[in-house]
Amino acid sequence: MNLKTPGESYFHLHLVSDATGETLINVGRAACAQYANVLPIEHVYPLIRSMKQLERVLNEVESNPGIVLYTLVDKEIRERLKERCRELGVPYMSVLAPVVQLFQSYLGGSPTPRVGGQHSLDANYFKRIDALNYTVMHDDGHMTDDLESADVVLLGVSRTSKTPTSIYLANRGIKTANIPLVPSVPLPPGVEKLKKPLVVGLVASPERIVEIRQNRLLGLNAADLGASYIDREAVNEEIILSRRLCARNGWPLIDVTRRSVEETAATIYALYSERRRRAIAET
- 161 among the known binding-site residues? yes
CA gap 8, 185 in Å, rounded = 49
* Alpha-carbon distances of 98 from 22, 28, 93, 120, 234, rounded to whole Å: 18, 15, 10, 22, 54
| Phi, psi at 174, each rounded to 5° | -105, 115
Closest to 238 (Cα-Cα) out of 199, 191, 206, 190: 206
CA gap 42, 268 in Å, rounded = 31
- 160 among the known binding-site residues? yes
- 162 among the known binding-site residues? yes
Q: Is 236 left (phi over 0), alpha (psi -120 to 50) or beta?
A: alpha
- 166 among the known binding-site residues? no
Helices (H), 44-145: 51-63, 75-88, 97-107, 123-137
- 7 among the known binding-site residues? no
Beta strands in the chain (DSSP E): 9-17, 38-45, 66-71, 92-94, 152-156, 176-180, 198-203, 253-255
Percentage helix, strand, coil, to 5, in the chain? Answer: 50, 15, 35
- 159 among the known binding-site residues? yes
Annotated binding site for ADP: 156-163
Known binding residues are 156-163
